[in-house]
Amino acid sequence: MKPLQRDLINNLQGGFPICDRPFQELATRLGYDEETVIKGVKDLITDGYVSRFGPLYNTEKLGGAVTLAAMKVPAERFDQVAEQVNAFEEVAHNYEREDTLNMWFVILAENENALLKVIDQIEATTGITVLNFPKEKEFFLELRLEVPEE
């Protein structure tokens, strides 16, 4: 990992400057120029150190609906079903787990009815039952993963 990538990961956790030129503010704070920081963030994604860069919204407070869903997918169909599930724009994350319920994903939709419709569509597309695990209570856990210097 390059020093810039380490600096970005260590300094982007827990907040991003909210201002007219956030990358410039971050660059000034870290001792880089703005273009270098922008390219560094793009490289974090391209190089696979992070899977996405963007805000996290409280979907429910914005009037939407969110759920954690799971499926029991036959191993020989896993890649095909993952592709089918990921084709839905409402699916935010999709993870394979070594368990009976081996596919877990998050669905975000504009409201509860739309969310249930997506679940129905996924079941119709894949032929596999989707188990719906809506959030009962929200917990805030701040997890920081510092990348040490080599």
Question: Interior CA angle at 69 toward 63 and 70, to 5°?
Answer: 180
Q: pLDDT tens digit string along 120-141? A: 999 999 999 999 999 888 777 6
pLDDT for the residue 61: 75
Q: What is the pLDDT of residue 143?
A: 66
Q: For CA atoms 132, 57, 142, 35, give the dihedral sign.
A: positive
pLDDT given for residue 113 in this prediction: 96
> What digits encode the pLDDT tens for the residues 8-55?
999 888 778 889 999 999 999 999 999 999 999 999 999 988 877 877
In sequence order, the β-bridge partners of residue 106 are: 68, 93
Query: Rounded distance, CA 107 to CA 69, Å?
Result: 7
pLDDT at 57: 74
93 pLDDT higher than 70: yes
Report d(CA 50, CA 6) in Å as an integer.
Answer: 11
Decide if domain 65-134 falls under CATH 3.30.70.3460: yes
Mean pLDDT of the chain: 91
Nearest-angstrom CA–CA distance, 113 and 25? 41
Q: How far apart are CA 12 and CA 10, in angstroms?
A: 6
Looking only at the bridges linking them, the beta strands covering 131-134 and 65-71 are: antiparallel
Q: For residues 48 and 101, which has the higher predicted lDDT (pLDDT)?
A: 101
As annotated, the residues of the chain forming the CATH 3.30.70.3460 domain(s) are 65-134
**Full-prediction pTM beyond 0.75?**
no
pLDDT bin (cut points 50, 70, 90) of residue 102 is very high
3-state secondary structure 89-127: CCEEEEEECCCCCCEEEEEEECCHHHHHHHHHHHHHHHC
Confidence band, pLDDT 50/70/90 cuts, at residue 58? confident
- Answer yes or no: is pLDDT of 101 > 80: yes
Number of H helices, E strands in the chain: 5, 4
Confidence check: pLDDT of 70 > 90: yes
Closest CA to 92 of 72, 69, 75, 111: 69
Show the tokens assigned to 106.
């998050």
**What pLDDT does residue 118 have?**
98
